[in-house]
Structure 1
């Protein structure tokens, strides 16, 4: 995000470390939570890409800036609107809601095809990374895109894809994450509009640490069996 190479590097390293532990815990307790548990790891990698953007800018290396920026934008424009709905669907027991979440994942696929791929195709002249007020602005205005060209409607579709599935999750703790994503998007748009993508991704990365709490509240396998036995007892 904002501030410096050191902030992005430290944030990314912490997220990968904590997320790795979170993923191992989910694997042991309930594997349906693994897609959610690895979200901090993925955000950590995204922040490390942004650290690479800062390094490239400091060293006046256009190649490094472009490569790292494309890595960062892969997460922002392609992965998150697909991954978060799928992760929410993985823990959902209601079939109708799972179908809805998968529908949002297809919206994410639309972003990947009509936003990210055109950026990659025009990587040499279609977008710029500009430092603004200690933050980074990923300017893709030079790339004609499908969903992205919808303006406010495209932003609303993106926000819905990443936040509605967590908001409707059967796990009430996961709903907190969805609410946090909406609130942080509003703050980023109102206060940090000049570097919205970078700042919102940073806020979302910090919010993803909350998933460590969510995963650690998932019952142990032995607890689940004991609960089932207790319910079955006369």
Structure 2
């Protein structure tokens, strides 16, 4: 997270608690991956909390290394595939499911690119004021291009989904990305993940609402879309 170790750990606890409650709301096996998103965000925030501690103390280089790569692998490698895949599992409209399948492939390519970068290029986390900046040696031109596809694979599926209120989740994620890009561009990876972690609480509301029976007419209209 972007402020301090305490804030990261507190955020991790809160989001993890929401995640546990969200998992308990699962009504279908196809919802499990989506329901697990807040828990993964919580774990990611704990990792950055550990990173804060190790950056301010000496003698924990190995732990700093582990925490750095747990955070970055989650942010750059896991999310581009997990988001569209979780939407694909829940989707019941065939046309939308096909589009989501394409986005899974796109996300897979993005994940592969970042995995290669993490394997072959150095990344150094630094504390700048109240933020953590990840200084990397990734090929900048390619990163700028791939990041566009990163956004496509992580945000677009939320608008393609026919699940009620999913558009709200997508809108909040998109707005948080824009705000972070404008005001905290140097710390995008850290701060956007923090915003997304908090926003993931909306998943609880989406699954809670999904437990409510939908009128047959609504289902007919949805399936015909």
Once the two structures are superposed, residues 152-197 of structure 1 have per-residue CA deviations (whole angstroms, 9 ceiling, x without a partner) of 3222111110000001110231111111111111001100011010
1:191 alignment counterpart: 183
2:4 alignment counterpart: 4
Q: How does 1:64-103 map to 2 (within 5 A)?
A: 64-103=63-102
Once the two structures are superposed, residues 88-131 of structure 1 have per-residue CA deviations (whole angstroms, 9 ceiling, x without a partner) of 11111122211221221222222222212331344xxx111011
What do you get for the CA RMSD once the two structures are aligned?
1.9
Structure 1: segments with no counterpart, 5+ residues: none
TM-superposed CA distance for 1:149, in Å, is: 4.2
CA contact (8 A) 1:36 1:87 kept: yes
2:112 alignment counterpart: 113
- Are 1:48 and 2:43 counterparts? no
CA contact (8 A) 2:23 2:35 kept: yes
Q: 1:137 is paired with a residue of what secondary structure? A: strand
Q: 2:25 is paired with a residue of what secondary structure? A: helix
CA contact (8 A) 1:81 1:109 kept: yes
2:196 alignment counterpart: 204
TM-superposed CA distance for 1:71, in Å, is: 0.1
2:132 alignment counterpart: 136
In 2, Cα distance between the equivalents of 1:150 and 1:95? Answer: 33
Per the normalisation by structure 1, the TM-score is 0.86
Structure 2: segments with no counterpart, 5+ residues: 220-225
TM-superposed CA distance for 1:211, in Å, is: 0.7
Once the two structures are superposed, residues 9-55 of structure 1 have per-residue CA deviations (whole angstroms, 9 ceiling, x without a partner) of 111112112211211211xx223222111110010011111011111
